[in-house]
A and B are shown apart, each in its own frame.
Chain A
Amino acid sequence: MDAIGEGLLEALRLIGGGDGQLYGIAGRSLLVSGSATALAMLVGVPLGYLLGRARFPARTLILAAVGTGMGMPPVVAGLVIWLLLVRSGPFGGFELIYTKQAMIIAQFLIAVPLVVAFTAASIQALPARLPDLLATLGAGRLRTLWLLAREARLGLLAAVMAGFGAVVSEVGASMAVGGNLAGDTRVLTTAIVTETSRADTERAIAYGLVLLAMAFAIVAVLTIVQQRGGR
């Protein structure tokens, strides 16, 4: 009990006291996970749209594979990316291992299945004849897509939140491919692991609080956008 209370108090002091280390690590979490989520949206939304709209033989199989990907433990994604990027691996020449870029790639891999699945589901939930209807009403191809996205925004913003929430909170992949380098690739989750193993509970709790606050702020903004103008 005492340890928890003191930890919380010290954590608040660190947060309020403008601890440079803490803000640096939090900013890095935001940069890495934000980039990974944005890239996952760029790739995942079109893929999800295709899977939600088009009808082709392997579609169900692919949807099942995407669903499986949603449940993939981040540490497995980390291991795969590690094996690919490490010096002795096929892409070792790019010297990306233990960099932020490697972390973004691994987190991208974790977020994409979530984005694809959420997008496909939200597109599929729209009336099947909506595109034809919009075309009949004189909407061009791009405008049709845009109107569809607008109709599906509940699901699409849920995709952003799910993707970001998954990558900002994962630790296994970031640890494996980032290496948890102080001041370079240490993010909130890997910092929590380090401080825990060094028995600096106050700092670990502080990082945990910042992580939660950050996730809440972002999800809150997205939820406001999502709910505005909804019926």
Chain B
Amino acid sequence: MPFARWLLPLAAIGALALAAACGGDDDPGGLILATTTSTYDSGLLDELVPRFEARTGIRVKVIAVGTGAALRMAGEGNADAVLVHAPEAEAPYVERGDLVSGRLVMTNDFVIVGPPGDPASAASAPDLPAALAAIAAGGRFVSRGDDSGTHAKELALWAAAGIDPASLSREETGQGMGATLNVASERRAYTLTDRATYLALRGVLDLAVLVEGDARLRNVYHAYVVNPDRHEGIAAAQAEAFVAFLLEPETQALIGRFRAGEFGQSLFTPAAAATAGGG
């Protein structure tokens, strides 16, 4: 009868599929890169990683999480390399020796975006703390609230401006930058974003850049290798190769050009090249 005739092939197909799935994946020459959602959602790593893989044969598993989660993965030896953007949060991991070979890879900047009408008049404030105070007084703010580099930056900015975030009309999404920008757009609220993600999503958002250019809004990306002396099974050689690849003049030039034509400005500024005097 039909039933038995169907069950056996079904099980056989399943077993075969599992065997097939198990076959192709053993790749000793691989590394796990824990990174931020901003580098991933902008598409930058989709551009860089295949070049690295094609040249070296080393497979890169890019895990896009918040900077906090990426650092924690590194601290527990669950990643081989990290590309992150929260220097204050990175420092304890460097001091403890979990992260080594730290290199500045690129920079861009954070901007404060909000409803184009700017109901809180943040854009006309004389400086960054005043702009934040204006938003605190007359606007709604949407926070990442996900322990990411952007979230850490936001909290540091409130603290520097002497404003208690708990006193604000402030909501936390607990999600990535793209999702948070969407929430801010729909709720006519202000938010802090890296410029790259904002530019990439600008077309679908009803948000304008209102505060930018302050030195305190600089966003720096560092790459690290997880210390193989502190954790078992770290693919240190592969991770070192990947960090070296990020710093190569050719890669740095690629970072500077990345989607620049599309937006009329570059999303990331190569930093290794800048310190080496251009190129």
Closest to B61 in A: A98
What range describes how many residues of A lie at the interface? 35 or more
A105–chain B nearest beta-carbon distance, Å: 10
Assembly CA distance A32 to B21 (angstroms): 8
The yes or no answer to B7 lying at the interface (CB within 8 A) is: yes
Given contacts A41-B14, A88-B77, 9 further A-B pairs with CB under 8 A are A87-B231, A98-B32, A101-B25, A146-B4, A150-B1, A153-B2, A180-B64, A197-B176, A199-B204
Residues of B12-69 whose CB lies within 8 A of A = 13-15, 17-18, 20-22, 25, 32, 37, 41, 43, 46, 61-64
Given the interface pairs A38-B10, A149-B4, A199-B178, the reply to whether A31 lies near B17 with Cβ below 8 Å is: yes
Main secondary structure, interface of A, reads helix
Please encode chain B, from 170 to 213, with 1 for each CB lying within 8 Å of some chain A CB and 0 for all others.
00000010110000000000000000000011011000000000
The one of A41, A87, A156 in contact with B78, judged by C-beta atoms closer than 8 angstroms, is A87
A37/B21 in contact, CB under 8 A: no
B10/A160 in contact, CB under 8 A: yes
The yes or no answer to B279 lying at the interface (CB within 8 A) is: no
Contacting residues, chain A, for B22 (C-beta < 8 A):
101
Contacting residues, chain B, for A150 (C-beta < 8 A):
1, 3-4
Assembly CA distance A117 to B200 (angstroms): 47
Chain B interface (Cβ within 8 Å of chain A)?
1-4, 6-7, 10-11, 13-15, 17-18, 20-22, 25, 32, 37, 41, 43, 46, 61-64, 76-78, 176, 178-179, 200-201, 203-204, 231-233
B11/A197 in contact, CB under 8 A: no
The yes or no answer to A127 lying at the interface (CB within 8 A) is: no
A37/B14 in contact, CB under 8 A: yes
Assembly CA distance A160 to B231 (angstroms): 42
Assembly CA distance A87 to B31 (angstroms): 12
Contacting residues, chain B, for A182 (C-beta < 8 A):
46
The yes or no answer to A124 lying at the interface (CB within 8 A) is: no
A197/B17 in contact, CB under 8 A: no
The yes or no answer to A73 lying at the interface (CB within 8 A) is: no
What are the 10 tightest A-B residue pairs by CB atom distance, in nearest-first order?
A38-B14, A197-B178, A153-B3, A35-B17, A100-B21, A35-B18, A88-B76, A199-B201, A199-B204, A87-B78
A225/B2 in contact, CB under 8 A: yes
Contacting residues, chain A, for B176 (C-beta < 8 A):
197
B66–chain A nearest beta-carbon distance, Å: 13
The yes or no answer to A181 lying at the interface (CB within 8 A) is: yes
Given the interface pairs A35-B21, A39-B18, the reply to whether A87 lies near B63 with Cβ below 8 Å is: no
The one of B3, B15, B20, B78 in contact with A88, judged by C-beta atoms closer than 8 angstroms, is B78
Closest to B22 in A: A101
Assembly CA distance A197 to B18 (angstroms): 31
Contacting residues, chain B, for A196 (C-beta < 8 A):
178-179
Contacting residues, chain A, for B3 (C-beta < 8 A):
149-150, 153, 156-157, 225
Closest to A151 in B: B3
A87/B77 in contact, CB under 8 A: yes
Residues of A66-107 whose CB lies within 8 A of B = 86-88, 92-93, 95, 97-101, 104
Contacting residues, chain A, for B20 (C-beta < 8 A):
31
The yes or no answer to A129 lying at the interface (CB within 8 A) is: no
B18–chain A nearest beta-carbon distance, Å: 5
The yes or no answer to A16 lying at the interface (CB within 8 A) is: no
The yes or no answer to A34 lying at the interface (CB within 8 A) is: yes
A217–chain B nearest beta-carbon distance, Å: 15
B25/A99 in contact, CB under 8 A: yes
The one of A32, A34, A197, A201 in contact with B13, judged by C-beta atoms closer than 8 angstroms, is A34
B65–chain A nearest beta-carbon distance, Å: 10
Contacting residues, chain A, for B233 (C-beta < 8 A):
87, 92-93, 95
Assembly CA distance A35 to B16 (angstroms): 8
* From B14, B76, B178, residue with most partner A Cβ within 10 Å: B14
